[in-house]
């Protein structure tokens, strides 16, 4: 029996005021998994990622019962995290090479990278197709190049599990497809991937599994099984319809008060450019 990478059992987290952020989350991440966590802003997606990576952990004392359940990680599990691009200070005086180098695990205090470390950084940049940008300042990159840089930074940690917060937010459709294809290649190489997103249609076209959540897990499984009108209404609190396009589910506005999220409701977001007729924050 293959041991899961990570499992949450009855996970619940609340703010000091008692308002729940996560409620009874039971989620198992298997080796080789490639899943997207979808839900509205404020649904707990980013908080869940931070719990999975260990940035949020049970308090030593919890008299108010703000934390419930457990998080179980496989012994020796290596994880890497890619934040939302909107949270980055792009004026920070650092080159692409230096940004990726800083992502490596630190062993003591040193002021100069070893030849091995420099080779590993250049290997990661080359793997992501941006080795020629190593000396460029990070603010000079396009959105797709910025995302590739942070993926290279994550890969220097040699992760078993890669966690990404809204990796396709704020980029055009062509870049979105490129990023998702790249993540698919990384997954095929043996890296398990979990990402959060608002982009239902884009994820349905690229990911084998989706987790619909709004403080709790509403549904978890292949897009064709998860993207149904009842699940979407329970997740987003609004009426959304699901159409079938060449065997792929496409989410559209039903006119019954759908949320104001353009990417979510773009019926072409997950389609190839030719079929679509198009060219190429910190919210939970």
pLDDT digits (tens, 9 = 90+) for 78-120: 999 998 887 888 888 899 999 999 887 765 445 577 888 899 9
Does the residue 263 lie in any domain?
A: no
Residue-level pLDDT at 188: 95
Nearest-5° Cα angle at 55, 65 to 94: 155
> Which position has the higher pLDDT, 284 or 198?
198
The pLDDT of residue 109: 47
49 contacts: CB under 8 Å, gap ≥ 6: 37, 81, 163, 165, 194, 196
For residues 165 and 55, what is the distance between their CA atoms, to the nearest angstrom? 14
CA nearest neighbour of 150 among 179, 175, 170? 179
Q: Is residue 248 part of a domain?
A: no
Residue 45 makes CB contacts below 8 A (sequence gap 6+) with 37, 38, 39, 165, 196, 213, 284
Asked if pLDDT for residue 176 goes beyond 80, the answer is yes
Strands laid side by side in the 20-29 sheet: 20-29, 6-14, 67-73
Per-residue pLDDT tens over the stretch 187-231: 999 999 999 987 787 777 789 999 999 999 999 999 888 888 899
Note every long-range contact of 138-143, with CB atoms under 8 Å and residues 24 or more positions apart, other chains counting: 138/88, 138/90, 138/92, 138/94, 138/95, 138/96, 138/99, 139/90, 139/91, 141/96, 142/175, 143/85, 143/170, 143/171, 143/172, 143/175
Instruction: Give the closest residue to 99 by CA, choosing from 127, 129, 128, 125.
Output: 125
pLDDT of residue 271: 33
Predicted confidence at residue 46, as pLDDT, reads 92
What's the rounded mean pLDDT across residues 44-53?
94
Residue 3 forms part of a structural domain: no
Contact, 224 vs 209, CB < 8 A? no
Q: How many domains does the chain have?
A: 1
- For the segment 65-82, what is each residue's pLDDT rounded down to a tens digit? 889 999 999 999 999 999
The answer to whether residue 35 is domain-embedded is no
Output the pTM of the full model: 0.82
pLDDT band at 255 (very low <50, low <70, confident <90, very high): low
Q: 27, 37, 78: which is closest to 54 by C-alpha? A: 78
Classified as helix, coil or strand, 130 is: coil
Rounded to an integer, what distance in angstroms lies between the CA atom of residue 232 and that of residue 192? 26
Structure tokens at 202: 């884009």
What is the domain range of residue 135?
Answer: 87-158
Answer for the pair 14, 73: CB distance below 8 angstroms, yes or no: no
Asked if residue 42 is part of any domain, the answer here is no
Phi, psi for 127 (deg, rounded to 5): -60, -35
pLDDT of residue 22 exceeding 80, the answer is yes
pLDDT given for residue 18 in this prediction:
72
Alpha helices in 71-137 (DSSP H): 96-101, 115-127
The verdict on residue 136 lying in a domain is yes
The tokens describing 97, both together, are: 């090479």
Section 136-158 average pLDDT:
92
More confident residue, 140 or 61: 140
């Amino acid at each position: 029996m293959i041991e899961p990478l990570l499992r949450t059992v009855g996970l619940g987290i609340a703010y000091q005021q008692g308002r729940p952020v996560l409620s009874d989350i039971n989620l198992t991440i298997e080796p080789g998994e490639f899943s997207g966590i979808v839900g509205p802003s404020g649904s707990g997606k980013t908080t869940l990622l931070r719990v999975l990576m260990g940035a949020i952990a049970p308090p030593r004392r919890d008299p108010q019962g703000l934390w419930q359940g457990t998080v179980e990680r496989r012994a020796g599990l290596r994880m890497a995290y890619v934040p939302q691009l909107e949270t980055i200070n792009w004026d920070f005086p650092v080159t692409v090479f230096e940004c990726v180098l800083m992502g490596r695990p630190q062993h003591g205090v040193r002021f100069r990278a070893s030849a091995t470390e420099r080779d590993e950084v250049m290997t990661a940049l080359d793997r992501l197709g941006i080795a020629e940008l190593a000396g460029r300042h990070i603010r000079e990159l396009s959105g797709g190049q910025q995302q590739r840089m942070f993926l290279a930074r994550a890969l220097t940690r040699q992760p078993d599990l890669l966690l990404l917060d809204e990796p396709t937010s704020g980029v055009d459709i062509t870049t979105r497809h490129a990023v998702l294809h790249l993540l698919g290649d990384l997954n095929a190489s043996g890296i398990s991937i979990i990402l959060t997103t608002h982009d239902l249609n884009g994820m349905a076209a690229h990911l084998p599994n989706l987790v619909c959540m709004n403080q709790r897990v509403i549904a978890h499984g292949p897009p064709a099984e998860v993207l149904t009108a009842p699940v979407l209404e329970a997740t987003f609190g609004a009426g959304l319809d699901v159409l079938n396009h060449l065997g792929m589910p496409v989410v559209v506005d039903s006119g019954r008060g759908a949320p104001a999220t353009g990417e979510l409701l773009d019926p072409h977001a997950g389609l190839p450019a030719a079929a679509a007729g198009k060219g190429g924050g910190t919210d939970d």
